[in-house]
Amino acid sequence: MNNLDEQKSADEARNAAQEAEKRESRKEWKDTFRFVIIAIILVIPIRLFIAQPFLVEGISMDPTFHNGEYLIVDEISYRFESPSRDDVIVFKYPCPNPASEAGLTQCDPASTKYFIKRIIGLPGEKVSVTDGVVTVSKPNGNGAFALGDSFLVNHDQSNMAQITLGSDEYFVMGDNRPQSFDSRSWGPVKRSAIVGRTILRVLPTGRAGFFPGFAKDIETATGTSTAGTR
């Protein structure tokens, strides 16, 4: 009789332990599911409307940004303020109509390709390039100036006839002027094509920091005192 009672007690203890394990397992699954839901609720809006990652490809922004650097792009600031001269922006693949006018023979409006460049000219301004020197004329004849370029390491001798920017257009160029495919080739960027401005360099860790590419960062990187005229 005692043996039966002991066996029964052992079975009950084992069953209780198994039930406890099942409850703990269910709790872990519920916690994991809850975490995933919360992560989705938090991450997706941030990813879609506030910030998104961007991987630099190519050398058009050397030495400010190197190929393979990992950046975070601020998507929200331009909802409250206009882009400024010298801002480094990420924008959708430019696609003039017709594309052939700007040399984009395989332009695809649905392309997921993005470019990174620096804003040189603002809406309403006139921009021209003579032997590599960029001249910007203010709207309504309010003066003209040659854009400061002492932060540039690689200069060129390019030329471009003067163009007038529309009310929603920006003229952009790469910091590595001889190797940059930019507004000199395919024209201005529409405001609607701008994704945002660079706010954080994540990788490589040795160059990590906030607001990469802006005046202070360029001054540190090149030893110059200016990043151009705002």
Stretch 201-205: mean pLDDT: 86
CA torsion, ordered 214, 217, 220, 223, to nearest 10 deg: -30
Of 218, 70, 230, 67, the C-alpha closest to 153 is 218
Q: Is 117 a catalytic residue?
A: yes
Residue 162 clears pLDDT 60, i.e. is over it: yes
Cβ atoms within 10 Å of 15's Cβ, excluding its own: 10
Residue 202 clears pLDDT 70, i.e. is over it: yes
pTM: 0.69
Q: Is 138 a catalytic residue?
A: no
Domain ranges of the chain: 1-50, 56-124+165-222
Residue 119 clears pLDDT 90, i.e. is over it: yes
Q: Per-residue confidence at 155, pLDDT binned at 50, 70, 90?
A: confident
Under CATH, which number does the domain 56-124+165-222 receive? 2.10.109.10
Tokens of 32: 């994991």
Q: Please pick, among 117, 137, 180, 183, the residue that the annotation labels catalytic.
A: 117
Residue, of 107 and 36, whose pLDDT is higher: 36
Q: Per-residue confidence at 82, pLDDT binned at 50, 70, 90?
A: very high
Q: Please pick, among 60, 137, 180, 183, the residue that the annotation labels catalytic.
A: 60
Residue 174 clears pLDDT 70, i.e. is over it: yes
Identify the pLDDT of residue 11: 57
